[in-house]
Amino acid sequence: MKDFAYVRAGDVTTALRAIAAEPGAAFIGGGTNLVDLMRQDIERPGTVIDITTLPLDEIEETADGGVRVGALVRNSHLAAHPLIRTRYPVLSQAILTGASAQLRNMATVGGNLLQRTRCLYFYDGAAACNKRRPGSGCDALEGFNRNHAILGASDACVATHPSDMCVALAALDATVEVESVRGTRRIPLVDFHRLPGDTPDVETAIAADELVTAVELPASPIAVNSRYRKVRDRASYAFALVSVAAALEVRDGTVAGVRLALGGVAAKPWRAREAERILLDAPATEESFRRAAAAELASATGLSQNAFKIELARRAIVATLSRLLTDGSAA
């Protein structure tokens, strides 16, 4: 691990001035991903700015009935909060499927948003990885790629985003608030993470000197009837092969509203817009769910070891929507 300077920020303004003055600096909150990356010599910040004491750890109801979540709220706290459990159950469920209880107690909302891929080649300093070293190649293309992307990938990178929480946030139309010395801006969650294209090392839409300060969830009556389904190799502490975050509203047997996002299939949480388009105003039947899932996965491309994820994703979508349909509140 490279030597680094340590700064503790007492307020947001101090934190933003510190990151602006030190281009090679990094913020640290829970540290559950950053510390691992520093130990692996992947992240090498010259200065670490500790933001754990900043007043960004509140969950508050907004005037319009939504919820504002501070960036330093612990994942375990967010999953257990009554507003989240009752209004956005898909988010609570997604968080509880991620990592272990110990990690959820340490990990923060902002850190979860910014965590990096768990691709084995990204962590292997001897492997070619365009995300870690641009222009070096991608060993996953012809290597062990069982867990890799089937949507939105490129010849430069086929890694997937590891977060469960972010898949639910994508389905919920969440917005990320970021601040810098230049001011505040808001980024839709679906635009916060980037697909790899030719620059897989550029993973998010925020600048190096910006700090995630909050995530805002809009009021969403449809979210009350929502569910997260995660398919993985073992029952706990495993990243998704495929996951589905869904919300469904049915009136008189017809789909009146639907939100759908996929995890484990792309370099970012994948909002299933085509499936949503097909389902809206369609009969609320398993046949409609199958048709929408097939349309969403029509552009999917498998690698040597992960083509099974295409059919797995189709079935997971159908199973999740079917469960919501029979839960009672959708009828």
Separation CA 210–CA 184 (nearest Å): 9
In a domain, 98, yes or no: no
The reply to whether 144 falls in a domain is no
Reported as a pLDDT band with limits 50, 70 and 90, residue 235 is: confident
The structure tokens listed for 8 are 């503790």
For 284-331, how does the pLDDT look when each residue is reduced to its tens digit (9 = 90+)? Answer: 999 999 999 999 999 999 999 999 999 999 999 999 999 999 985 444
Q: Residue 184 in contact with residue 145, Cβ under 8 Å? A: no
Closest CA to 260 of 231, 218, 289: 289
Burial (CB count <10 Å: 0-12, 13-18, 19+), residue 322: middle
Residue 12 contacts by C-beta under 8 Å, 6 or more apart in sequence?
Answer: 54, 55, 56, 179, 211, 213
- Residues 157/200, Cβ–Cβ less than 8 Å: yes
Phi, psi of 28 (to 5 degrees): -130, 130
Dihedral sign from CA coordinates of 134, 99, 321, 287 = positive
Beta strand pairing status for 226-231 and 254-263? unpaired
pLDDT score recorded for residue 301: 98
Q: Tokens in use for 328? A: 């009672």
Beta bridge partners of 94: none
For residue 122, tell me if it sits in a domain: no
Q: CATH number for the domain including 24?
A: 3.30.43.10
Give the pLDDT band of residue 165 (cuts 50, 70, 90): very high
User: Which domain range does residue 13 map to?
Assistant: 1-53
> For 71, what's the count of Cα atoms within 13 Å in the CB-facing half-sphere?
23
Task: Please indicate, yes or no, if residue 108 is contained in any of the structural domains.
Answer: no
Residue 48, phi then psi, degrees to nearest 5? -110, 125
Over the chain, what is the mean pLDDT? 96
User: Residue 110: what are its φ and ψ, rounded to 5°?
Assistant: -65, -40
Number of structural domains the chain divides into:
2
Coil, helix or strand at residue 291: helix
Give the 3-state secondary structure of residue 224: helix
Kindly report the CATH number assigned to the domain that includes residue 300: 3.30.390.50
Residue 46 pLDDT > 80, yes or no?
yes
* pLDDT at residue 23, rounded to an integer: 87
Cβ partners under 8 Å of residue 203, min gap 6: 116, 131, 193, 194, 267
Assigned domain for 200 exists = no
Q: Is 45 among the domain residues?
A: yes
AA identity, residue 126? A
Residue 259 lies inside a defined structural domain of this protein: yes
In a domain, 169, yes or no: no
Q: Average pLDDT for residues 26-53, to the nearest whole number?
A: 95
> What whole-number distance in Å separates Cα of residue 197 and Cα of residue 114?
19
d(CA 263, CA 163): 8
Task: Count Cα atoms within 13 angstroms, Cβ side, for 273.
Answer: 4
Sorting pLDDT into bands at 50, 70 and 90, what band is 18?
very high
Cβ-count burial 1-20 (b if 16+ within 10 Å, e if not): eeebeebebeeeeebbbbbe
pLDDT tens figures, 98-134 = 989 999 999 999 999 999 999 999 999 999 999 999 9
